[in-house]
Chain A
Amino acid sequence: MKGQRYIREVKEPRRRVLGMSIAVAAVFLVLLSRLWYLQIIESDNLRKLSENNRLRFVPVAASRGAILDRNGNVLVNNTPSFSVAVVPQDVRDKEALLTSLARYLALDPEELRAKWEKGKGRAKFYPIVIASGISREQLEFLEENRLRLPGLDVEMKPIREYGNGQLAAHLFGYLGEISEAELDKEEFRSYNPGDYVGKSGIERSWERYLHGSDGGRQIEVDARGRYLRTISETSPTIGNSIVLTIDRDLQKRAEQSFGDKAGAAVAIDVNSGEILAFVSNPGFDPSLFTGRMSPQQWKSYLDDKRHPLENKALKGQYPPGSTFKIITALAGLQEGLIDENTTVVCKGAHTVGKDTFKCWDKKGHGVVDLKRALKESCDVYFYQLGERLGVDRIAAYAREFGLGSPVGVGLENEKGGLIPTTAWKEQKYNKKWFRGETLPVSIGQGYTLATPLQLAAMIAGVATEGTVYRPHLVKRVVDPDGQVLREFSPEVLKKVALRPEIYRPVKQGLLAVVNEPRGTGGMARLYEVKVAGKTGTSQVVKMRDSKGGVPYQYRDHALFVAFAPYDKPEVAVAVVVEHGEHGGSAAAPIAGRILRAYFEGKGVIKAPVKGGGDEEDEGGAESGAVAPENSQSVPVPEKGQP
């Protein structure tokens, strides 16, 4: 056998085994004496601690960071909120406690019971929050009756305060209690059940910066669960503030300009990609999600056919309609298929094989050149151009301007729209592309889809003649001490390689849309600033000519994209009015109002004099977070305690 060759020198290790045995015994003796110390000498003390128990760990929630607009106005902040918790192991009579609590707080006892059941799987000393957002009077009342309610705890938690009501609700998003699924994720490793986390919008996507880190304290309590003393404490770290690129006042005006129409608008600084207004209308009240939302309220949100909970600017995908003709025109010019003098005769329809494609104006536009084709939005001109370009060439140019994939605005679940190609259709439907399918695509119909955010980026890229900046919402992240943690500078998303001279005819066409007779976008006109733009009306379903009787959900979407000033572009907007029917009448006026608000803010246009100071005097100087001294928490010490 192999081992035989290596038979050891016997004597030496035998001594070593003895030495090791002695060492092992010595280590065990140390363990034993430690047990002796704990279980014999310290036994009485530790037994008392275990009986009176005891030590309890109380988390102290961190305040979330504030959200500010580009001018330092606080948009979202925190305010203290009191909630009632029970500590199961200290509760003597569960039913009695819940019933009296329900009476004091004017709540349904069944609801409290359900909350209790939900929190059961955890350690018995862990407080279960059963009611939040209680008033100060209720709080005082509970404090007075505390002795009669063993097991009761009152916690202070900072909650989200939306100072401007529904302003930019979709953008901020809302908070909610962390879910089981989220708790399993790596991202939420340091979170505890019951913590609030961002569920959508900025609150969700920038959670990492906003959340801060919870502190906690180890306290000793008596047999009834009352606070005796703090043994150790770690204070929470306030979350970082997010400074948005949004302009509060512009945002407000942009939202107002929608009235009760459903839709979305994005206003963007063309030279940096900073988003100045990000509207999805109608809005919702984000504070309802943190507090107690009534089932009726929830139902009314769900039943509203204007879908108030949906972020239409980010996730709404609409056929861009005639706004897409800008892309088709640029493609035609760059490919040398047309120049500004090329004319087409529009007889109100164009025929390919057996299919006839109608122009929106059935009478026909007659002889049209590029400028008129854009101004009056002649479909036949672009049908013919599109047919010659082919779908794949159109798609290539559309992608150049940021369509067809998410722009990466920094919010989760951004939609990418759809720019069809022959390869796409083959992959998706396993069918060949028909030549006739190219025609709707060239006027932004058919399979083509884009989000308002993408359309804003696209028109901004046209304004700058080829530089598409990545649209972004966050200017910087600031820590609680005011130090800038991250700063976001303009980033070029696409640099479009078109000949510089081909933009001029297209832009002239867009100027004519708004400013010349028979232009479709006249309602976006400003007299102080030259606006250029393009209307779009996109079919929801093919259901024409049932005049007057089209149900809301089948009406066409109205679109408008614009930039201004014409000579030295600063700002671009994209407006979609869902089921607004006509781009020129529904979307263009809204775009006009947003642009007016922008130039009024800049002082270029004089604002009409209004009575009073408006809301300008509120809190630009307020600090980004609640004062830390507010974050005192559970359990409220008895009066007179140090």
Chain B
Amino acid sequence: MIDRRLFTNFDWTLFGLTLLIAALGVFNIYSASASYTVVTTPYFIKQLYWILAGLFLVVMVCSIDYHMLEDVAFWFYGVVLFLLVVVLFAGKTSMGATRWLNLGLFSLQPSEPMKIVIVMVFARYFSRYPVFQGLTLRELFYPALLLGGPALLIMKQPDLGTAILVVLIACSMLIYVGLRWTTVLSVVLAAIPSIYLAWHFLLRDYQKNRVLNFLNPERDPLKSGYHIIQSKIAVGSGGVAGKGYLQGTQTQLRFLPEQHTDFAFSVFAEEWGFLGCMVVLLLYLFLILWGLQIASRCNDRFGSLLAVGVTAMLFWHVVINMGMVIGLFPVVGVPLPFFSYGGTSMVTSMVGVGILLNISMRRFMF
């Protein structure tokens, strides 16, 4: 089962890249939480534990042949979908959203595995589906069903950020499979009137307000607007070379919200400046292009679809998080993979990298 070639073919570049970003993350979390009064284990230590747990998962995921995922994709999908339904009824509510499922020993957020499971299901579906001239609208019917269920359930929690991510990941895979221009055009044309109708007849006033606040945080300057402004000040005041490690005033005076998690990158930007940001940006770019290369070099359709999906997951996390931190996007709670503090995000991202490594090292296996 364990082939010597697996070791020689191990993708050290991808692995090293991941570790490098995670290490930068730990250093940054140390600074971001330096002003916190420590109650228990400091965050950067806990993050190290999470990285170790993540690496263990990477080894686990690598040790099985990814082709097995093709057989179990729908089982996984069923289980996670079921858990999403359970969360709706029996979930733990915190901060106004019901996302967590208490499993006794630990809590689980089923919307997280859904990000990877949707990739598996789409990969399996399209690997057996011959596409000639790009997908037609009718051919999108089943994939839309597969995507719609979980996306709506996650939206209902409500966790708009994750719902959008799941949709974006799935759409990226569709683009990779190939879409006809007529399909894209008709989806767009159908979306416009239905959004109009929903806006006028379906949504209540408070829901409309929520959407408007989401699109334009300045409407609600007390909450999300404040965070964006403070984050922009932090990033911009970093200048070319930054204020220096542990010297960011925005960070150390705690003007930043969630500065060790979702806004970790603005801490980094303030202290390391444009040059530092460029390095991080390049590392992520390299990581994502590498992921696409793995897809391209893979010899079977399932594997290459899987690689594209996982890479898309990482890509959209990076883009949405950074876009939020630098004021391009509204505030949604999306962490920066490997960089933000948090076990959930670390586990999902590490499993993703594990899958990529798995595909990468088995590409010569036929």
Q: Which residues of A contact B (CB under 8 A)?
A: 1-4, 6-8, 12-14, 16-17, 20-21, 24-25, 27-28, 30-32, 34-36, 38-40, 42-43, 45-47, 49-51, 53-55, 57, 89, 120-121, 123-125, 186, 189, 215-216, 218, 231-232, 234
Contact = CB atoms under 8 A, between A and B. Distances in A.
Contacts of B323: 31
Interface in B229-253: 229-230, 232-240, 249-250, 253
Contact of B292 (A20, A51, A55): A20
B30 interface: no
Interface residues of B, number: 65
Contacts of B238: 39, 43
A13 B221 contact: no
A440 B278 CA distance: 86
B236 A24 contact: no
B336 to A, nearest CB: 12
B278 A32 contact: yes
Contact of B234 (A28, A34, A50, A216): A50
Given A7-B301, A25-B285, A53-B255, A17 B326 contact: no
B181 interface: no
B96 A189 contact: yes
Contacts of B225: 218, 232
B284 A1 contact: no
Interface of B: 37, 67, 70-71, 93, 95-96, 127-128, 172, 175-176, 178, 218, 220-222, 225-226, 229-230, 232-240, 249-250, 253-255, 269, 273-274, 277-278, 281, 284-285, 288-289, 292-293, 295-296, 299-304, 308, 315, 319, 322-323, 326-328, 365-366
Nearest to A89: B253
Contacts of A34: 326-328
13 contacts: A2-B67, A3-B303, A7-B299, A20-B175, A31-B322, A36-B274, A38-B236, A38-B327, A43-B240, A54-B233, A57-B226, A218-B225, A232-B221
A43 B234 CA distance: 10
B237 A49 contact: yes
A21 B289 contact: yes
Contacts of B292: 17, 20-21, 24
Given A8-B300, A218-B229, A232-B221, 10 more contacts: A3-B70, A6-B127, A7-B299, A14-B296, A17-B308, A28-B284, A35-B235, A46-B237, A55-B229, A216-B222
A6 B128 contact: yes
A555 B71 CA distance: 80
B331 to A, nearest CB: 15
B239 A28 contact: no
A128 B273 CA distance: 33
B301 A6 contact: yes
Contacts of B301: 3, 6-8
A31 B178 contact: no
Contacts of B302: 3, 6
Given A13-B296, A21-B292, A2 B253 contact: no
Contacts of A51: 237, 249
A215 B221 CA distance: 11
Given A8-B304, A24-B289, A55-B230, A35 B222 contact: no
In the complex, the 9 A-B pairs of residues with the closest C-beta atoms, listed nearest first: A46-B236, A3-B300, A50-B237, A8-B301, A232-B221, A38-B236, A17-B296, A47-B237, A39-B274
Contacts of B222: 57, 215-216, 218, 234
A498 B104 CA distance: 53
Contacts of B328: 30-31, 34
B274 A55 contact: no
Contacts of B284: 28
Given A20-B176, A54-B255, A39 B236 contact: yes
A13 B307 CA distance: 13
Contacts of B218: 232
Given A7-B299, A13-B176, A21-B292, A121 B319 contact: no
A14 B176 CA distance: 10
Contacts of B235: 35, 38-39, 46
A594 B281 CA distance: 79
Nearest to B230: A55
A53 B253 CA distance: 11
Contacts of B250: 50
A50 B233 contact: yes
A218 B255 contact: no
A28 B278 CA distance: 10
A35 B253 contact: no
A16 B253 contact: no
A31 B70 contact: no
A215 B223 CA distance: 11
Contact of B281 (A2, A31, A40): A31
Contacts of A57: 222, 226
Contacts of B300: 3-4, 6-8
Nearest to A50: B237
A470 B261 CA distance: 52
B240 A40 contact: yes
A121 B296 contact: no
B172 to A, nearest CB: 8
A34 B328 CA distance: 8
B304 A49 contact: no
B253 A124 contact: yes
Given A3-B300, A13-B304, A123-B254, A27 B67 contact: no
A232 B222 CA distance: 8
A89 B303 CA distance: 55
Contacts of B128: 6
A17 to B, nearest CB: 4
Contacts of B254: 123-125
Contacts of A49: 233, 237
A54 B273 CA distance: 20
Contacts of B234: 50
A573 B365 CA distance: 90
B233 A46 contact: yes
Given A17-B296, A20-B175, A50 B249 contact: yes
B71 A31 contact: no
Given A28-B281, A32-B281, A1 B274 contact: no
A415 to B, nearest CB: 30
A514 to B, nearest CB: 55
Contacts of A21: 289, 292
Contact of A2 (B71, B226, B255, B315): B71
B253 A186 contact: no
Contacts of B230: 55
Contacts of A218: 221-222, 225-226, 229
Nearest to B328: A34
A358 B315 CA distance: 88
Contacts of A24: 285, 288-289, 292, 315
Given A24-B289, A32-B281, A125-B255, A39 B221 contact: no
